Structure 1
Amino acid sequence: MTEAMENPGGEEYLATIAGIVADVEDAGRVIAAGQIAELRVLAAAGRLAEAQSAHADANVLLHDMALRSIAAEVAGAMRTTDRTVQRRIGEARVTIEGFPAAVAAWEAGRIVRGHVTAIVDAGVNLPAELWAEFEAAAIERCERDTPNRVRGELEILAHRMHPRTFAERHEEAASGRCVRLIPGRDGMSDLIATLPTVIAEGIQDRLTQQARAIIDTRGERSATSDVIATDARSTDQVRADVFADLLLAGTPALDDTRDTTAGPLGAIRARVQVLVPAATLSGADDGPCDLAGRSPIDPGTARLLAGDTGVWERLFHDPATGVTVSTDSYRVPSGMRRFLQARDQHCRFPGCRVAAIRCEVDHTHDHALGGRTELSNLAHLCQRHHSMKQFTAWKVRQLQGGVLEWTSPLGRTYREDAPTPAVAFTPAETTPGDPAPF
């Protein structure tokens, strides 16, 4: 082990890592088998409680008492509370009885527990008669990607399969927006706002930008202010303080130009990255839109964002004469950057879903080593995975169509296909006698 630690590129190091990976895979199979067995036992406990109150004169109270009694019995063996066990019994029945194909795929090793959770969480909002149809499509999608990547897509799939439009359900849900105060410990409390997702995302983004602006300019301003010179707050702390300042005073207290009409912090506006299907944008479809890296948003908000933005423009990719596909400079032109954001949608490391607008455009083959600034050599990576590509033994190459092939230090390969495009163009079908296209 000592030699392996001293020589991270040596054979002993790679053999040690290979052993760890194999052990993790073996442990994963054992854990999965145990988790599935536990779910089935808990579901059986729920069915037993139902059978105890199945006679004709049984009422809701009798069933609840039977379930409580069984949950308390099981809780003693699991060393947890009966309330927790009762909740888990309900969840187990929904999973085992409502989504059996997902459990079977998990048991066969085709998907993992996170996939099953994502399938159940999204599918349970559909009418029960649609569960099997949804489940079949969801399993196929889950086999190709990680749980956090597919969660948003499964939610959108469920929304589109729902007999009621997403716009109708969002309007109903939005009526429950509110702000709640939950007292905490040591003089602290949680202020929780339940808002439409795109508004909440915009608030978080603006706070983050303002916090970074304060932290990034500390060095420039510390010479003129003793307060700023001693400011050692973290990003989270600055974000919380700016949030309080904006609500209580209408402007961040540490804006260095707060005495003018428009300080730099006040000028910062939120950014959100939304994928809007063309049919939804035109109003022909009322389905959900994808807030990249997060969750679906309602079509009305997406149309409003598209109509109000000052940088809205059509994006065409014509292989013959379309967007700029290459440049001699290191800097990526804005047109190429927009195309890459539309193509990648998020960080292109396997499993990562950080939105493209939060990522860096990376030269797959390093520019300093001769890599060109062209679409076939560029892809979005978040800061974490960009650094990992630079400073670890992970390697990546870009195949045709923007597909990335990652190779781990052990030689394992992970294929990262380009996300499904938000807009696709297909050749028009023609018949003899049709006029030529123009």
Structure 2
Amino acid sequence: MFRCFFEHLFYADDMSPIADDAFAEARRRRARAEFAEWDLVLTHREREIARIDATDDVLLSKELARRAVTLEIAQRLRIPENSVWRIIVQGEEVRDRTPAVWVAFRDGVLDARRVGLIADMVAKLHTPKALEAVDQNAAEYGSGHTPGELRAWLKRLRARLEPEKLNDDAAHATEQRHVEISHNDDGTSWLSALLPTGVAVAVGNRLRAAAKALPKTDPDTGERDRRTREQKKADLLAHWLTCSEGTQTDIRAEIAITIDSTDLIGLTHGAAFTRGHREPIPAAWARELAASEHTLFRRLGLDPFGNVMDTTKLGYHPSESLREALRWRDGTCRVAGCQADIRDTDLDHELAYDRGGTTSADNLRSLCRKHHNMKSHDHLDRRSLRPPVQFVECYAVGTPVVYRPVPA
């Protein structure tokens, strides 16, 4: 479970250490208060709708009266009507279809943000097996991970349990691809494009690599390039779009995908995943990409639990093969909740090399520059790190999960 690393903080009045239990209890109290609000909204609305439906008013009048209930709740809570509708839709979804998640919310195991993410995914599920898997596993996973990690886990779980539906949704969504341009009042504009996930990842990776490869000084004038990396990426995109005359998508940038061999050859129909198990993509798209003459295949050795097998190199600097294996294993910066791209991270020796630490997968982890600097100055607790990405995820289906109430 992810735990905070504020062990060096102190109360101003007595300078005693802040206990982890105090943070956990504050988190539970906040979640229980959010549940009380959701439960009140649902209960009050259902009671009022039952009263309205019992009247002899015409259907139009009843419908308007139902809407008035939502407005009344919004005004009493001092929140927008859309926020009330979100509580109603997400609350009913979780309460009625995933009772174990609802109990976990009641007991403060999950907060409203995580419950909302679970509700949005539950609304997309179609099979009883997938619904049961979410109900029995989401609370345990969500309570120990950030909302971003929970969202990614839910997408992976759905992709594994309902791959055919993922394929259908991806095909339908791809048909909606388009470009939008909206103009601001300050001489700038937004350029947005809805693209298939695999293509978007390839575009992002190419922009990142090209921006990083630009010279820091102009070879002709010797002037230093003071643009940020984001500014360079924006300029490169504008240059490519205004100068290129290509009319077909030809992926040459790096896009790292993991897929089971049986899915790759079509014997099974599981999804593929972008590096770090971030985003699921249809297996059919991965098979199409695999047929390209530019595709490079890399085989990873995994243990029975889905972990990348350990590799050790004598010396301080890891070999390129070890670096690449660790990029696959970690996916992003290893600090829980940090989504820094793996290409923008450093490999850090957990136990320093000059203190006997080995240059091995067991002792190396990917850290973004900010968290690497924190670690170097002893301000990064080991408890802040998440475990490496596992390419095999276990979840229970069919075993009842019971959450006991937490004492108030």
Deviations 1:183-218 (A, max 9, x none): 43334332221111121122222223333334xx23
Counterpart position of 2:397: none
Q: Which residue of 2 aligns with 1:420?
A: 390
Q: 1:161-172, aligned counterparts within 5 Å?
A: 161-162=161-162, 164-172=164-172
Q: Distance in 2 between matches of 1:180 and 1:63?
A: 40
1:221 aligns with 2:206: no
Task: Give 5+ residue unaligned stretches, structure 1.
Answer: 1-7, 252-267, 396-405, 407-412, 425-438
Opposite residue 305 of structure 1, the aligned amino acid is: L
**Which secondary structure state, in structure 2, belongs to the residue aligned with residue 19 of structure 1?**
coil
Residue 237 (structure 1) aligns with: 231
Alignment of 1:294-313 (within 5 A): 294-308=278-292, 309-313=294-298
Asked if the contact 1:280–1:286 (Cα under 8 Å) also holds between the matched residues in 2, the reply is yes
TM-score normalised by L of structure 1:
0.73
Alignment of 1:47-196 (within 5 A): 47-48=46-47, 50-51=49-50, 54=53, 61-62=60-61, 64-127=63-126, 131-162=131-162, 164-196=164-196
Alpha carbons of structure 1 residues 360 and 57: separation in structure 2 relative to 1, 3 Å: farther
Q: Structure 1's 140 and 29: CA in aligned 2 closer, same or farther, altered over 3 A?
A: closer
Deviations 1:278-316 (A, max 9, x none): 221121222222223532111122223344354313234
SS in 2 for 1:225: coil
Of 160-169 and 116-125, deviating more is 160-169
Q: CA deviation at 1:366?
A: 1.3
What residue is the counterpart of 1:27 in the other structure? Answer: 26
Q: Deviations over 1:125-176 (max 9, x none)?
A: 0138553443113334334533322322221212333384422331122111
Query: Per the alignment, in what secondary structure is the counterpart of residue 272 of structure 1?
Result: coil
SS in structure 1 at match of 2:366: strand
Going from structure 1 to structure 2, the CA distance change for 1:188 and 1:297 (only over 3 Å counts) comes to same
Structure (1 or 2) with the larger CA radius of gyration: 1
1:423 Cα offset (Å): 11
Residues 19 and 368 of structure 1: CA distance in aligned 2, closer, same or farther (over 3 Å):
same
Aligned to 2:406: none
| 1:153/1:324 CA distance change after superposition, 3 Å | closer
In structure 1, the partner of 2:404 is none
Work out whether 1:284 is the aligned partner of 2:267: yes
SS state at 1:312 partner: coil
Question: 1:420 is matched by which residue type in structure 2?
Answer: Q
**For residue 278 of structure 1, what is the amino acid of its counterpart?**
S
How far, CA to CA, are the matches of 2:287 and 2:55 in structure 1? 53
User: Does the 8 A contact of 2:34 with 2:111 survive in 1?
Assistant: no
C-alpha displacement at 1:92, in angstroms? 3.0
Match of 2:312 among 313, 322, 326: 326
TM-score normalized by the length of structure 2: 0.77
* SS of equivalent residue, structure 2 residue 17: helix
Alignment pair present for 1:36 and 2:22: no
What code does the residue aligned with 1:250 have? S
Structure 2 counterpart of 1:343:
329
Q: Which moved more, 1:75-84 or 1:359-368?
A: 75-84
The alpha-carbon deviation at position 421 of structure 1 amounts to: 2.9
Could you tell me how far apart the structure 2 residues matched to 1:333 and 1:288 are? Answer: 31
Secondary structure of the residue aligned to 2:181 is strand
Give the total of aligned pairs.
377
Instruction: Show the counterpart of 1:207.
Output: 207
Q: Give a deviation string over 1:110-132, Cα, whole Å, max 9, x none.
A: 34444323322222101385534
Residue identity matched to 1:170? A
Give 1:36 shift. 0.8
Change (3 A) 1:187 1:10: closer
Change (3 A) 1:141 1:12: closer
2:351 is the counterpart of 1:365: yes
Aligned AA (1:125): K
- The two structures, once aligned, show a CA RMSD in angstroms of 3.8
Write the distance in 2 (CA, Å) between the matches of 1:292 and 1:148. 16
- Does the 8 A contact of 1:363 with 1:377 survive in 2? yes
For the 8 Å contact 2:127–2:162, the answer to whether it is kept is no
CA distance 1:244–1:11, change in 2 (3 Å): closer
Question: CA separation in 2, counterparts of 1:379 and 1:352?
Answer: 13
Q: Which runs of 5+ in 2 are unaligned?
A: 1-6, 246-250, 395-408
Task: Report if aligned partners of 2:263, 2:270 keep a CA contact under 8 Å in 1.
Answer: yes
Taking the aligned partners of 2:104 and 2:261, their CA distance within structure 1 comes to 34
**Does the CA contact (< 8 Å) of 2:315 and 2:359 recur in 1?**
yes
Distance, in Å, in 2 between the alignment partners of 1:180 and 1:69 is: 36
Does the aligned pair in 2 maintain the 1:46–1:93 contact within 8 Å?
Answer: no
| Secondary structure in structure 1 of the residue aligned to 2:41 | helix
How far apart are 1:318 and its partner, in Å? 8.9
Task: Choose which of 286, 300, 316 in structure 2 pairs with 1:315.
Answer: 300
